[in-house]
Each structure stands twice: as structure tokens, then as C-alpha cells.
Amino acid sequence: MQKKEIIKAPIIPRIFAFIIDAIILILLFVAGYFLLLGLLKFLGASDMPRGRWLTSGTFISFFPMLFLLLRDGLFQGSSPGKKIMGLQCILFSSKEKCTYKKSIQRNFPMPFLFFMLMLLYHFQIIGGRNLIITLGTLFLSYYVVNLIIIMIDKEGRKFSDKMFGTQITKRPKEKSKT
């Protein structure tokens, strides 16, 4: 049996894949916001309900968070950004393509932190501008720390990759059918 050659994903394509996925995530948030506004208008409400940000925030963020969780199980182990950049997420031990279950596990920290902050905001522990600053700082810190770990690790694996047995690699070249 021929052993698959696994090539660790270079950092620059990983960064571009992240940017592409982040753009999709932002577009999903914007779409959720306008969908909620349209729904409220349809129901006769004049504005976003005050004091209902947990409900509104959950509605607006449902599809972006779903994408964030499942993205590495899409396209045979690649998020849209990874697919465009020629990368894939694999199971470290078997070298098989990432499953939806593993995608959820490896991507769980960010949606979890997001919803914890939404709860803190809902219960008025963190308010308006502080929420945005906290979210920005938390997300930036999380991704900078992961980037450093990825660059230092010989296999290019972040903490959740090691914890749940995944790795980002270069996608093997497809054999042309001629």
C-alpha cells in the first residue's frame, strides 16, 4: 500500500485562507442582520428590539457560527478559503479528510467565546463599546496566539488541532483523467 505524502501547509496560504473565510463570515453576519431587520419589518416592528440583544445576536450569528464550526468539513476537508488556497484539514492519525465532527471540535473555541460574551452583554456585565473592544481584543489575541503556535510547531498544528487530532496540509494534486 502506498503511503500518502503529507506536506504541512505553508503559513502564507493559511493566512490568505483565513482572510477568505473571515470575509465569508462577515458577509454571513451582515446577511443575518438584514434578514433580522427584514423579518422585524415584516412583523411590524419599527426597530431592533431593545433589551433583546441575546435573542437578536443569536439570530444574527446563527449562520456565521454554523459556518465557523462546520467549515473544515466542507469540500472534502476544506473550508472555502482553504480550498481556494490549495489546503485541507485532515485527521492527523489516519490522514483522512476532516469530518464535520472534527471540524466542530477544532473550531469550537471561537463560537463558544462569542456566545459567552453575548451572555455577558445580555446580563449587562459588559456594555456596548466595551463589548466591541472585548470581542476585537479576544479574537485578535486568539488568532495571534494560534498563528505563533502554528509557526513554532513542526507540524503546523494549533492547540485545538493537537487536542482533537487534526492538521492543515497542502491538498494533494488531483490526478488528471486523460
Confidence check: pLDDT of 176 > 60: no
Q: DSSP labels for 114-156?
A: HHHHHHHHHTTSS-HHHHHHHHHHHHHHHHHHHHHHHHHSTT-
- In this prediction, residues 10-28 reach a mean pLDDT of 94
Q: Considering the entire predicted model, what is its pTM?
A: 0.82
Confidence check: pLDDT of 50 > 60: no
Which pLDDT score is estimated for 48?
Answer: 60
Domains of the chain by residue range: 11-170
Exposed (0-12), middle (13-18) or buried (19+): which is 123, by Cβ within 10 Å? Answer: exposed
pLDDT, one tens digit per residue, over 105-139 is 999 988 888 888 777 777 777 666 677 787 778 88
107, 71 in Cβ contact below 8 A? Answer: yes
Looking at per-residue pLDDT, the higher value among 62 and 165 belongs to 165
> Residue 43: CB partners within 8 Å, gap ≥ 6?
none
